[in-house]
Chains A and B, each alone.
Chain A
Amino acid sequence: MLARRSVIRLATQPAPLGVAPSGARNMATLRELELRLKSVRNIEKITKSMKMIASTKLSKAQRAMQNGKQYGIANQEVFENAKPEEAPKRKLFLVISSDKGLCGGVHSSVSKATRRAIADSPGSPIAIVGDKSKAQLSRALPNNLTITFNQIGRDVPTFADAAAVADLIAKSGVEYDVVEIVYNKFVSALSYESGVMQVPGEETFKETAGFKAYEMEEEVTKDLAEFALANAIFATLTESHACEQSSRRNAMDNASKNASDMIGSLQMQYNRGRQAAITNELVDIITGHGDWKTLYAIVRT
């Protein structure tokens, strides 16, 4: 209705070629703007609530990370005193990520670090925790994958998760001198960076001066190597989990800010459009170009 009247008005003036009558465009964009406004408002609500949830999960994850780090430190004590003489040759890469998205760049950071690290030893097997990195690395390095895990990281990772991963790696029969665990290190609540933790395998331990100084019972070194691997996996799982929560919180915070900026500018546009439409109607009425039906309807309201 509005469009028809405006079209009649503008038909008296020659319109530039290819431009829709401005009245018609205003009508279409008003409804469009309204829909956009509604959808962006919904998105802002969702991202805000995701941010709240991630903040609460972050505090829990940080506490778990502090506890988990102790396991990694205990490992390091042993490794310090049992350094291998030569550089390890066969490496197994274990990539720590998770199954959920919308968390900023945590998964890409870990996948990129793996691709950089594996450049030196191209044929190395890769084990992956988490579907996101699995998707990225199965496109880039599909023939290196040996075993992948998922369903870890929905809640704070437990030692049971870490022990299960270590056990399955041992059972899979992959041969290695050292496991390089690629994970995200927690720098602060606002930032993280990728890092690598090395865990020697059983054979490497046996060759070190520290171990050769003692007479070892048969299976003890194997047990130590497997348990050290589980410890390291637990430390890196909890730290990566904390990084993921902080990154998700920051990403959702940015998204909410962007959404509220968009709402502000869309609202302005919408109001301008609405006022312009009303002004047009008034002008129509005053100049008498409107039909008597609309005039009657407007006067009655």
Chain B
Amino acid sequence: MSAPAWRQFFSFNKYSQIAARAVRQSLNETERVAAEKRGLTDVRYQKWENGKGGEQVLLNPKET
């Protein structure tokens, strides 16, 4: 089997996070609520060049 299709788009970590999200959403009500908390992340990052920081970017922008 040649490389699976997802490899062109994202890394293994992203792949495992997507799979984890699918598993969490398939849980029953109470377990799902508890598990959703483990999948939350508000990480922001900022690239630096020559000692200067760039813009802060939200990894998962909140859909409002």
CA distance in complex: A146, B52 (Å): 10
**B14 at the A interface (CB under 8 A):** yes
CA distance in complex: A145, B52 (Å): 9
Within 8 A of A (CB), among B11-64: 11-14, 16-17, 20, 37-48, 50-53, 56, 59
- When distances are taken between beta carbons in the complex, the residues of chain A under 8 Å from B42 are 151-152, 154
Contact B47 A160 (CB under 8 A): no
Number of chain A interface residues as a range = 20 to 34
CA distance in complex: A164, B7 (Å): 17
Contact B50 A143 (CB under 8 A): yes
Contact A223 B46 (CB under 8 A): no
Interface residue from A145, A148, A163 paired with B17 (Cβ < 8 Å): A163
**B5 at the A interface (CB under 8 A):** no
* Chain A interface SS verdict (over half): helix
CA distance in complex: A176, B40 (Å): 29
The contact string, 1 if C-beta is below 8 Å from chain B, for chain A 147-167, is 111111010001111011111
Contact A158 B38 (CB under 8 A): yes
A167 touching B48 in the complex, CB below 8 Å, given contacts A160-B39, A161-B43? no
Interface residue from B10, B37, B41, B53 paired with A148 (Cβ < 8 Å): B53
Contact B3 A151 (CB under 8 A): no
- When distances are taken between beta carbons in the complex, the residues of chain A under 8 Å from B53 are 138, 145, 148
- When distances are taken between beta carbons in the complex, the residues of chain B under 8 Å from A167 are 10-11, 13-14
- When distances are taken between beta carbons in the complex, the residues of chain A under 8 Å from B20 are 159-160
* Chain B interface SS verdict (over half): mixed
Query: Please, how many residues of chain B have a CB less than 8 angstroms from a CB on the other chain?
Result: 28
Q: Pick the most buried of B14, B38, B45, B56: most chain A CB atoms within 10 A of its CB.
A: B45
Contact B47 A172 (CB under 8 A): yes
Contact B12 A152 (CB under 8 A): no
Interface residue from A159, A218, A226 paired with B11 (Cβ < 8 Å): A226
- When distances are taken between beta carbons in the complex, the residues of chain A under 8 Å from B43 are 149-152, 161, 164-165, 168
- The chain B residue with its CB closest to the CB of A152 is B43
A160 touching B17 in the complex, CB below 8 Å, given contacts A151-B42, A168-B59, A219-B3? yes
- Residues of A that sit less than 8 Å from B by CB: 138, 142-143, 145-152, 154, 158-161, 163-168, 170-172, 218-219, 222-223, 226-227, 230
- Residues of B that sit less than 8 Å from A by CB: 3, 7, 10-14, 16-17, 20, 37-48, 50-53, 56, 59
Interchain Cβ contacts under 8 Å between A and B, 24 examples? A138-B53, A142-B52, A145-B51, A147-B45, A147-B47, A148-B53, A149-B44, A150-B44, A150-B46, A152-B43, A154-B42, A158-B38, A158-B39, A158-B41, A161-B41, A161-B43, A163-B13, A165-B43, A167-B10, A167-B14, A168-B59, A172-B47, A219-B7, A230-B13
